[in-house]
Amino acid sequence: MKHLRRWVMSLTAAVVTLATIVGLQLSTPAQAPTDLTLEVAGLTVEELADGVYGLIASTDFPPAEPATTAICNASIVIGSDGVLVVDPFHNEALATLLYETVATLTEQPIRYVVNSHYHFDHTGGNPAGDALGYATLGRGPIRDLMLTRNVDSDPNPTPPDVIVNGPGELWLGDRAVQLVEFEGHTGGTDLVVYVPDADVLIMGDLLFTQRLPYAADGNLRVWQATLEQLATAYATATLIPGHGPISDRADFDRLRGYLAYLETLALDWQAQDLSEADAIAQTTIADEYADYLFQGLFSSNLSTAYQQITLGQDDAASIQAYFAHQPPALQAL
Ligand SMILES: [Zn+2]
């Protein structure tokens, strides 16, 4: 229990750190600036297959202009009688830009908005779709996590109104879209979206490419196993990661390699009986990852590795159970 508490405190610190890093956006208005464009938002529209698009974010983290810069990628899937979008960014202005972009690509109506997981950089734009009557879909405990842990970073959390547990399939007229659960990045809310006829897989934050991952809310070992599973199950797919450029199977392996590198470091600290502070102080990032974006997350990654691997607190279920029995003030973290 003592270890768990230390782990939770560290996790809490990491979550708070992330919220602080990106908290800049909280002081900015949610209304869309009239001049918000894809270019201002740092987004490039890429067509991966007929009617399947990624809006790919270029920013480092944290962004210089949080109110108008997209942090994550969004995706658009167009069928013969409707459109599905994934991850409407972190505020209503950027979500509105996404919906305006859809209107330039098709006359079909938007029917579904999918949240790939609960983190606010992917869900803070939900109110825009809600106001327009779009159904928002998410998985597992996403409603609870958005209404508790997101409150500091999302002043108006608007959780999905449709919860998909187990594999799901939606039809956009003649086009099927599959929703599939995987584990590793956020406790029980990770959901990938697969478009079989185009062999495109929309990953959410189970995949970061050319960026250090946010890992404090995940499970380093489970995540590695998931990436191995994904690389086999979707070996030929074109991938839209949660953060980073359009990717392929090799990028599953690269992220898995980075998580394995964290695990190796943490086992070495364990063998040396190092304190967390000493472990972090003596570790510099390997050359292989030194040119990735999101370098500010490295110390948080090390802390996560120390807690989960060095101390052995790697049971994601235990932290969910722990939070569930804490008073609201702590659950709100
Ligand atoms: Zn993200």
pLDDT of residue 224: 97
CA distance to 113, 213, 242, per residue, from 92 (Å)? 13, 24, 18
Amino acid letter for position 162: V
Q: At what angle do helices 298-305 and 2-22 cross, to 10 degrees?
A: 170
Give per-residue pLDDT as tens, 230-272.
999 999 999 999 999 999 999 999 999 999 999 999 999 999 9
* Topology of the domain covering 2-331: Metallo-beta-lactamase; Chain A (3.60.15)
In this model, does residue 330 exceed pLDDT 80? no
- pTM for the model: 0.86
Give per-residue pLDDT as tens, 275-321.
999 999 999 999 999 999 999 999 999 999 999 999 988 655 445 54
CA distance to 4, 113, 148, 321, per residue, from 160 (Å)? 30, 9, 14, 22
Are 53 and 86 in contact by the 8 Å Cβ rule? The answer is no
- 1 alpha carbon to ligand 1 midpoint, in Å? 30
In this model, does residue 208 exceed pLDDT 90? yes
- 64 alpha carbon to ligand 1 midpoint, in Å? 17
Q: Give the number of other Cβ atoms within 10 Å of residue 329's Cβ.
A: 7
- 309 alpha carbon to ligand 1 midpoint, in Å? 23
CA nearest neighbour of 167 among 209, 134, 207, 196: 196
How many angstroms separate the CA atoms of 268 and 216, rounded?
20
Are 138 and 160 in contact by the 8 Å Cβ rule? The answer is yes
pLDDT of residue 153: 80
- 209 alpha carbon to ligand 1 midpoint, in Å? 12
pLDDT band per the 50, 70, 90 thresholds, residue 27: very low
- 111 alpha carbon to ligand 1 midpoint, in Å? 23
Q: Where are the domains positioned within the chain?
A: 2-331
pLDDT of residue 33: 52
CA nearest neighbour of 198 among 237, 168, 248: 237
Residues bordering ligand 1, an ion, CB closer than 5 Å? 72, 121, 205, 242
- 29 alpha carbon to ligand 1 midpoint, in Å? 21
- 2 alpha carbon to ligand 1 midpoint, in Å? 30
Tracing tokens 């500091």 back to the chain, one arrives at 152
* Residue range 61-81: mean pLDDT, rounded: 96
pLDDT of residue 101: 98
- 272 alpha carbon to ligand 1 midpoint, in Å? 33
- 243 alpha carbon to ligand 1 midpoint, in Å? 6
pLDDT of residue 327: 43
The DSSP H or E segment spanning 251 is helix 249-272
pLDDT of residue 154: 82
- 185 alpha carbon to ligand 1 midpoint, in Å? 10
